[in-house]
Amino acid sequence: MIELTINGVARKIDATPDMPLLWALRDVLGYTGTKFGCGMSLCGACTVHLNGTPIRACVTPVSSVQGMKVTTIEGIAANHPVKEAWKKLNVPQCGYCQSGQIMSAVALLAQKHHPTESEIDQAMAGNLCRCGTYPRIKSAILEAAQKGSK
């Protein structure tokens, strides 16, 4: 049994130790907001926060997060400045990669309140979007940074 905290709730996971956190979240606990995209840490669709740091859940064995705090897309409040900015700019198209995009953006802004465009590029480079929402994601992060500082 692996014990951890997910979105502030203590949970126990009955899984083989090598199971990636991604599949434990999705198949064992039912947090399907975190997405599978590549399984190799190449696309960022599975991004969650581990003790506040963005990680790729697809390559993180569940045994390695014992006792830690995991935050998923379901744990980010609907009125979080990032989600508000996403709404205002109507960012998503198909929406599939957006959980990971939002988790990366939230982590970036927690660390850097006013990122430059190039810092946004660097922080978001690991998150692929096949629909091509990058320009809106970038604008939304700048928007959220502005709102967050008020």
Partner 1 sequence: MNHIEGKTRRAFLQESGFWLGSALVVSYGGQLIEKAALAADAATFAPSLFIAIAPDGKVTLVCHRSEMGQGIRTSMAMLLADELEVDLRSITLVQADGDERYGDQNTDGSHSVSMNWTRLREAGAAAREMLVAAAAKKWAVAPESCHAQAGHVYRNASKKSLTYGELVAAAAELKVPAHPKIKADAQLRLIGTGQPSVDLEPMLAGKSVFGIDVVVDEMVYASLERAPTVGGKIKSLDSAAALASPGVLKVVRLKGIRKYTNNAVAVVAGNTWSALQGRRALKVEWENEAVSGSTELRAALEKSLESPGKNFRKDGDFEAQLQGAARVVEARYHAPFLVHATMEPLACVARVLGDDCEIWAPTQDPQGTLKDVAKLLGFKENKIKLHVTMLGGGFGRKSQPDFVLEAVALAKELGRAVKITWTREDEIRHGFYHPESTQRMTATLDKQGKVTGWRHRSAFTTIARLFDAGATEPAGFEMGMGCTNFPYHVPHVLCEGSSAPTDVRVAWLRSVCNIFHAFSVNSFLDELAHETGRDAVQLRLDMLEPYGIPEWDKKSTPPLDTGRLANVLKLAASQSGWGRKLASGTGLGIACHYSFKSYVAVALEVKMKGSKLQVTRADCVIDSGRIVNADSVKAQMEGSMIFGLSAALYGEITLKGGMVEQSNFHDYSLMRMPEAPKIRVQLVKSDAPPTGVGEPGVPSVAPALCAAIFQATGKRIRDLPVARHLS
Residue numbers at the binding site for partner 1 (CB under 8 A): 15-16, 18-20, 23-24, 26-28, 30-40, 42-43, 45, 72-74, 78, 83, 86-87, 90, 92-99, 102, 118, 120-122, 124-138
Q: At what angle do helices 81-88 and 134-148 cross, to 10 degrees?
A: 130
Q: Measured from the CB of residue 110, what is the shortest distance to partner 1 in angstroms?
A: 18
Measured from the CB of residue 149, what is the shortest distance to partner 1 in angstroms? 21
Which residue is associated with the tokens 């508000």? 84
Nearer to partner 1, 15 or 109 (CB): 15
What is the residue type of 41?
A: S
Contact 56, 44 (CB under 8 A): yes
3-state secondary structure 80-98: CHHHHHHHHCCCCCCCCCH
CB of 26 to partner 1, least distance (A): 7
Residue count of the chain, please give it.
150
Tell the smallest beta-carbon distance from residue 107 to partner 1 (Å).
15
Residue 17 or 52: the one with the smaller Cβ distance to partner 1 is 17
CA distance 4 to 98: 25
CA atoms of 14 and 10, how far apart (whole Å):
14
